[in-house]
């Protein structure tokens, strides 16, 4: 009896080993799951967008895995390892370090917020792990080799906003107010530099500290400046206060809310009808192409809301990483980095971007990257600029 | 020019009223119980959500919901005193600091879990309304908030100066041991102080709701200003906190208007530093 059992066990274990090992032996490498790090603030002041990103990150990994994983790696599944960077730069540094040193990571995506992404990118560069991000600050494209930015840069947002201003007013006199961290400063400096060339006059240029208790004093200042258009580079809670205060004061002024907090479903929920006709810019929108519409439908099923730029963009980023792994035939971070550098996507989920093409230049920028101008129309965020990306005409309000 | 200054002062005064409600609560607790309540902002947040849900579920106007949010927060205050603060009163400072700090973190994170970090806004008939006086704009919702805040502060002052319980509270704040010798029951007094302080936080929440979005971290925006006002207006001094709050609101607004929109807080802290250099115990200190 004992003999038999031992024999059975031996046989069974051999069979099991053979069954499990077969694909590796045949292909000559291991189909362990591929670890992808996701760094997003799901607590703290940036949690709102961060949590939406987490939903999208999980959804993207499920989509890849349900479609058979990474085929060149024997159908290896993606394993998403999430880390909460708590909206804090110090935490971002330690969490990125911890994530990389504690796990065998192939690549990282995150953190959406520029101030956090800059830190995470530094850590990734040092550890030689590629990071792909929707963050728009141009600083990410200077002297970095493992950082990839598939979407429009902050400096490009500015030109789009200025060109849209000319479509709304014949002689735009613009007041620029911006929150005074990396995101706001980078975007607004772009506006200031480009305005003269685009024929737009800036009559007020004002940084403010995010998280104010009252937008009254700021709007008071805008009113005094005589501007006929307001560019606000803000996170959501400030923007809600700014738009509501403009209505309260009875100031008749066209508003371009930029990106960030302006292009997420919650903006409309909080501001309501007052949001109708407001303009903004985004590095991604849910109507840019058919693949994006499909992703949007799936996200809507899960959350009841349309997928906003950072969340949608990071689904595309996940597919860019998979595309790189397929071509590298490896989960090695340096090889995946090299494959990302030669990415050239023009179809499928990896190409979900305004213009529908992704190819990285030596600075990690998508050479085709450009923003879309968007407008709130009947509670939906619609792409209206430039012409080739517009899904509906821009309404003058 | 004069109009711009006047508008800036009005804006500052109106938001100063809200700072006052929060800071009076903090200073009252400190004065009477000798404990710093780091969780005061979180109670403002609770007041906001109570008001929000009363409005969206039962259609109750935020101003009317004061009659719910204030008693509710009063009871929470009594509970916090009875079950938590009372246990650490005999101990040294650290357990007391950690208790209210932990309470703040706990409430904040439970709110994040249950309510999500999303912003919630109420739209009332007067949310976007404003009175236009000449070239000046006075938002109705903020004016109501300011008026009610001043009314509540006045009621508190009368209570503290004319009722036995109020006098007992002032006595306990001046000298706890002597007050006890005079037959004042400190735990009853402390419970009422906590109750009133939290009721004021609840009132601030209800009054903010028509014009400010609610989210779990919202308390931290206001509590920073409240702490500055408490120090500026002399620790434990209710009138001092009120005056300091209004001054800070005006200083912040003028700073934004004439120095830069990112220097509102700089001006406020400058005001604090200068005051402390000249009068180290704050504006209301007897020299």
DSSP codes joined into one string, A191-230: HHHHHHHHT-EEEEEEEE-SS-S-SHHHHHHHHHHT-SEE
Q: How does residue A8 score in pLDDT terms, banded at 50, 70 and 90? A: low
B125 touching A, CB under 8 A?
Answer: no
B88 touching A, CB under 8 A?
Answer: no
A235 with A195, same domain: the answer is yes
Q: Are A117 and A137 in contact (CB under 8 A)?
A: yes
A254 with A383, same domain: the answer is yes
Facing residue for B117 by CB, picked from A47, A247, A269: A47
Chain B: give the shortest CA distance to residue A237, in Å: 7
* B43-56 core/surface letters (b: 16 or more CB in 10 A; e: else): bbbbbbbbbbebbe
> Does A213 reside within a domain?
yes
Q: In what order do the strands lie in the sheet with A254-256?
A: A201-208, A173-179, A229-233, A254-256, A279-282, A372-377, A380-385
B138 touching A, CB under 8 A?
Answer: no
A302 with A340, same domain: the answer is yes
Domain hosting A233: range is: 154-282+373-389
**Would the CB atoms of B253 and A217 count as touching at under 8 Å?**
yes
d(C-alpha B39, C-alpha B158), whole Å: 26
Rg (alpha carbons) of chain A, rounded to whole number: 23
pLDDT over threshold 50, residue A230: yes
- CB contacts of A211 in chain B (<8 Å) are 221
Q: Bridge partners of A358? A: A345
Facing residue for B119 by CB, picked from A177, A180, A266: A266
Chain B: give the shortest CA distance to residue A264, in Å: 11
A169 with A140, same domain: the answer is no
State residue A181's pLDDT score. Answer: 80
Which one of B137, B205, B258 makes the best mutation probe of the A interface by having the most chain A beta carbons within 10 Å? B137
A107 with A195, same domain: the answer is no
Contacts of A182-186 with CB under 8 Å at 24 or more apart are A182/A114, A182/A115, A182/A118, A182/A137, A182/A139, A183/A113, A183/A114, A183/A115, A183/A136, A183/A137, A183/A154, A183/A233, A183/A260, A184/A210, A184/A233, A184/A234, A186/A114, A186/A136, A186/A137, A186/A138, A186/A139, A186/A154, A186/A155
B216: nearest Cα among B97, B114, B77, B127: B114
State residue A174's pLDDT score. Answer: 95
State residue B263's pLDDT score. Answer: 83
Facing residue for B211 by CB, picked from A220, A244, A271: A244
Contacts of A155-158 with CB under 8 Å at 24 or more apart are A155/A186, A155/A190, A155/A194, A156/A190, A156/A369, A156/A370, A156/A371, A157/A187, A157/A190, A157/A258, A157/A259, A157/A281, A157/A283, A157/A371, A158/A187, A158/A188, A158/A190, A158/A191, A158/A193, A158/A194
* Token pair for A348: 């499928």
d(C-alpha B3, C-alpha B15), whole Å: 19
The pairing of strands B130-133 and B136-139 is antiparallel
Chain B: give the shortest CA distance to residue A215, in Å: 9
Facing residue for A236 by CB, picked from B8, B14, B119: B119
pLDDT over threshold 80, residue A20: no
A275 touching B, CB under 8 A?
Answer: no
* Token pair for B158: 């009368």
Chain A: give the shortest CA distance to residue B260, in Å: 7
Facing residue for A244 by CB, picked from B7, B128, B217: B128
Facing residue for A51 by CB, picked from B117, B142, B253: B117
**Would the CB atoms of B261 and A211 count as touching at under 8 Å?**
no
**Would the CB atoms of A270 and B120 count as touching at under 8 Å?**
yes
d(C-alpha B254, C-alpha B8), whole Å: 6
* Token pair for B53: 């849900």
Alpha helices in chain A (DSSP H): 2-27, 47-66, 89-102, 114-127, 154-168, 182-198, 216-225, 236-249, 265-271, 290-303, 309-328, 333-341
A210 touching B, CB under 8 A?
Answer: no
Q: How does residue A27 score in pLDDT terms, banded at 50, 70 and 90? A: very low
B163 touching A, CB under 8 A?
Answer: no
CA distances from B20 to A293, A317, B200, B244 (A): 49, 48, 9, 8
> Does A397 reside within a domain?
no
Classify residue B169 by burial, with Cβ atoms within 10 Å: 0-12, 13-18, 19+: buried
A218 touching B, CB under 8 A?
Answer: yes
A382 with A327, same domain: the answer is no
A183 with A262, same domain: the answer is yes
A143 touching B, CB under 8 A?
Answer: no
Q: Which CATH number fits the domain that encloses residue A378?
A: 3.40.50.2300
* Token pair for A198: 């685009």
A274 touching B, CB under 8 A?
Answer: yes
A147 with A162, same domain: the answer is no
Model confidence pLDDT, tens digit, residues A281-327:
999 999 999 999 999 999 999 999 999 999 999 999 999 999 999 99
Chain A: give the shortest CA distance to residue B252, in Å: 9
> Does A10 reside within a domain?
no
Residue A175 DSSP SS3: strand
* Token pair for B144: 């109501």
Torsion from C-alpha of B70, B50, A86, A245, nearest 10 degrees = -90
Q: In 10 A of CB A299, how many CB atoms?
A: 23
A236 touching B, CB under 8 A?
Answer: yes
Element (H, E) at A259: none
Query: Tokens 């009477």 belong to which residue?
Result: B32
Share of chain B above pLDDT 90, in %: 69
For chain A, what is the domain count? 2
B262 touching A, CB under 8 A?
Answer: yes
* Token pair for A236: 């959501």
pLDDT over threshold 90, residue A121: yes
The pairing of strands A358-359 and A344-345 is antiparallel
- CB contacts of B4 in chain A (<8 Å) are 220, 224
pLDDT over threshold 50, residue A24: no
A213 touching B, CB under 8 A?
Answer: yes
Peptide bond into B195 cis (omega under 30): no
Residue B221 DSSP SS3: helix
What does the mean pLDDT of chain A come to? 89
Q: Are A331 and A27 in contact (CB under 8 A)?
A: no
Element (H, E) at A281: strand A279-282
Q: Which residue of B has its CA nearest to A250?
A: B130
pLDDT over threshold 90, residue A16: no
Model confidence pLDDT, tens digit, residues A240-265:
999 999 988 888 899 999 887 889 99
B58 touching A, CB under 8 A?
Answer: no
Q: Bridge partners of A280? A: A374
A135 with A263, same domain: the answer is no
B215 touching A, CB under 8 A?
Answer: yes
> Does A139 reside within a domain?
yes
Model confidence pLDDT, tens digit, residues B4-26:
899 999 999 999 999 999 999 99
Classify residue A341 by burial, with Cβ atoms within 10 Å: 0-12, 13-18, 19+: middle
Classify residue A226 by burial, with Cβ atoms within 10 Å: 0-12, 13-18, 19+: exposed
Q: How many CA atoms are closer than 13 Å to the CA of B210, on its beta-carbon side?
A: 26
* ipTM of model: 0.83
- Local confidence pLDDT in tens for the 287 residues of chain B: 888 899 999 999 999 999 999 999 999 999 998 899 999 999 999 999 999 999 999 999 999 999 999 999 999 999 999 999 999 887 888 888 899 999 999 999 999 889 988 889 998 888 888 898 888 889 999 999 999 999 999 999 999 999 999 999 988 888 888 888 888 888 899 999 999 999 999 999 999 999 999 999 999 989 999 999 999 999 889 999 999 999 999 999 999 988 888 888 889 999 999 999 999 888 887 75
């Amino acid at each position: 009896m004992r003999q038999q059992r031992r024999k059975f066990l031996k046989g069974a274990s051999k069979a099991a080993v053979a069954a499990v090992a077969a694909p590796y032996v045949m292909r000559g490498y291991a189909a362990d799951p591929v670890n992808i790090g996701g760094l997003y603030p799901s607590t703290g002041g940036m949690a709102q967008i961060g949590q939406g990103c987490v939903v999208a990150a999980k959804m993207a990994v499920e989509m890849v895995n349900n479609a058979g994983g990474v085929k060149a790696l024997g159908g290896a599944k993606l394993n998403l390892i999430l880390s909460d960077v708590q909206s804090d730069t110090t935490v971002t540094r330690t969490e990125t370090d911890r994530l990389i040193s504690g796990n065998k990571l192939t690549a990282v995506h995150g953190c959406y917020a520029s101030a956090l992404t800059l830190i995470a990118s530094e850590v990734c560069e040092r550890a030689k792990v590629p990071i792909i991000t929707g963050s728009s600050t141009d600083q990410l494209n200077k002297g970095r080799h493992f950082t990839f930015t598939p979407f429009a840069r902050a400096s490009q947002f500015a030109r789009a906003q200025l060109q849209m201003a000319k479509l709304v007013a014949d002689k735009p006199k613009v007041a620029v107010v911006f929150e005074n961290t990396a995101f706001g400063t980078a975007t607004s400096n772009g506006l200031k530099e480009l305005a003269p060339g685009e024929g737009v006059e800036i009559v007020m240029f004002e940084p403010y500290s995010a998280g104010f208790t009252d937008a009254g004093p700021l709007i008071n200042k805008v009113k005094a400046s005589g501007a006929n258009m307001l560019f606000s580079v803000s996170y959501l809670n400030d923007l809600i206060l700014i738009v509501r205060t403009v209505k309260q004061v009875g100031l008749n002024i066209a508003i371009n809310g930029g990106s960030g907090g302006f292009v997420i479903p919650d903006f409309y929920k909080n501001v309501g009808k007052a949001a109708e006709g407001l303009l903004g810019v985004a590095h991604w929108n849910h109507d840019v192409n058919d693949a994006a519409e499909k992703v949007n439908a799936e996200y809507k099923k899960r959350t009841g809301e349309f997928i906003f730029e950072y969340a949608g963009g990071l689904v595309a980023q996940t597919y860019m990483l998979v595309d790189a792994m397929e071509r590298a035939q490896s989960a090695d971070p340096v090889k995946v980095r090299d494959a990302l550098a030669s990415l050239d996507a023009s179809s499928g989920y990896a190409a979900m971007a305004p213009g529908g093409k992704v190819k990285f230049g030596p600075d990690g920028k998508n050479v085709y990257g450009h923003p879309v101008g968007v407008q709130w129309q009947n509670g939906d965020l619609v792409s209206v600029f430039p012409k080739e990306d517009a899904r509906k005409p821009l309404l003058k309000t | 020019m004069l109009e711009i200054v006047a508008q800036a002062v009005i804006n500052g005064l109106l938001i100063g009223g809200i700072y006052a409600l929060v800071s009076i609560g903090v200073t009252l607790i400190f004065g009477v119980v000798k404990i710093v309540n780091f969780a005061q902002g979180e109670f403002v947040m609770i007041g906001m959500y109570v008001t929000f849900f009363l409005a969206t579920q039962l259609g109750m106007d935020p101003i009317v919901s004061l009659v719910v949010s204030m008693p509710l927060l009063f009871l929470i205050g009594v509970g916090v005193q009875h079950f938590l603060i009372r246990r650490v009163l005999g101990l040294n400072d650290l357990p007391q600091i950690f208790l209210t700090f932990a309470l703040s973190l706990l409430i904040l994170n439970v709110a994040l879990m249950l309510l999500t970090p999303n912003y919630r806004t109420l739209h009332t008939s007067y949310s976007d309304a404003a009175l236009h006086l000449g070239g000046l704009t006075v938002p109705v919702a903020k004016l109501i908030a300011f008026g009610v805040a001043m009314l509540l502060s006045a009621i508190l002052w009368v209570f503290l100066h004319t009722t036995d319980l109020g006098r007992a509270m002032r006595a306990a704040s001046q000298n706890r041991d002597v007050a006890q010798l005079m037959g004042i029951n400190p735990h009853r007094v402390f419970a009422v102080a906590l109750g009133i302080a939290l009721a004021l936080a609840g009132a601030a929440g209800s009054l903010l709701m028509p014009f400010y979005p609610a989210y779990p971290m919202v308390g931290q925006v206001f509590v920073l200003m409240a702490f500055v006002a408490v120090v500026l207006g002399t620790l434990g001094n209710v009138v001092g906190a009120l005056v300091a709050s209004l001054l800070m609101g005006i200083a912040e607004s003028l700073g934004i208007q004439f120095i830069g929109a990112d220097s509102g807080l700089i001006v406020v802290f400058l005001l604090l530093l200068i005051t402390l250099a000249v009068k180290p115990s704050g504006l209301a200190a007897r020299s």
